[in-house]
Amino acid sequence: MALAPDRAVRGLLFDRDDTLVIDVPYNADPHRVVPVPGARRAVERARAAGLAVGVVTNQSVVAKGLATRAQVDATNARVDELVGPFDVWCVCPHDAADDCACRKPRPGMVLDAARLLGIDPSELVVVGDIGADVGAASAAGAQGVLVPTARTLPAEVEAAGTVAATLDEAVGLVVAQVRAVRP
């Protein structure tokens, strides 16, 4: 599946856990950050194509009281060091029961990232491993690419408009879209 053939793309937002780094549930320890194979190369490809890059990540570890926001920020700084750099980080520290506007699949973080990057949300693509990631993209007016993992539900794969087998393939789809639409 491909992205919309006539939409300009200026920015790429990534989910953090199981997209850029191996998921360690509720991780707020920078020493436990391990990039997904090829993550740094994928981000470099996006930058080389002229895309702004960012991360949008649900981190309910804060709301659950298992870590502080400073610990999450330190963990994100380690991801930035190993995989980035990223132009913007948007973090939702809430739990699902908090009913906030930022927690994916709601559009808040995608809209915030668009504002901070100075890019219309329709010119963004969000890459993630679960339905909430592509749902947030859709809710914000952006495009989404699902990169399934072992925890991705079959229904999420079926519902996704664009699915890629790997992070590298997902970035390749986005880069191809940039080249196809660029004047």
Confidence of residue 51 (pLDDT cuts 50, 70, 90): very high
In a domain, 88, yes or no: yes
Tell me if 141 is assigned to some domain.
yes
Is the pLDDT at 182 greater than 90? The verdict is no
- Residue 5 resides in a domain: no
In a domain, 28, yes or no: yes
Is residue 121 within 8 A of residue 141, CB to CB? The reply is: yes
Rounded to the nearest 5°, which phi and psi values hold at 89? Answer: -125, 130
User: How confident is residue 167, by pLDDT bands cut at 50, 70 and 90?
Assistant: very high
For residue 63, the domain's CATH number is: 3.40.50.1000
Mean pLDDT, residues 37-59 taken together: 97
pLDDT digits (tens, 9 = 90+) for 63-122: 999 999 999 999 999 999 999 999 999 999 999 999 999 999 999 999 999 999 999 999
- Say if 1 falls within a structural domain: no
Task: Give the range of the structural domain holding residue 140, as residue numbers without chain letter.
Answer: 11-125+136-181
Those residues whose C-beta lies under 8 Å from the C-beta of residue 115, and which sit 6 or more positions away, are: none
Mean pLDDT of 142-156: 96
- Active-site residues, by number, are 15, 17
171 found inside a domain: yes
Taking the C-alpha atoms of residue 144 and residue 25, their distance in angstroms, rounded to an integer, is: 23
pTM of the full structure: 0.96
When pLDDT is cut at 50, 70 and 90, the band that residue 180 belongs to is: confident
Q: Is residue 145 part of a domain?
A: yes
The three-point CA angle 132-109-48 to 5° equals 95
**What is the pLDDT at residue 179?**
82
- Cα–chain-centroid distance for residue 153? 18
pLDDT tens digits for range 136-145 = 999 999 999 9
Does 183 have pLDDT greater than 60?
no
Q: How many domains does the chain have?
A: 1
Residue 143 and residue 121: Cα distance in Å, rounded?
9
pLDDT in the model for residue 5: 82
In a domain, 17, yes or no: yes
Residue 181: per-residue pLDDT:
76
Give tens-digit pLDDT for 12-40.
999 999 999 999 999 999 999 999 999 99
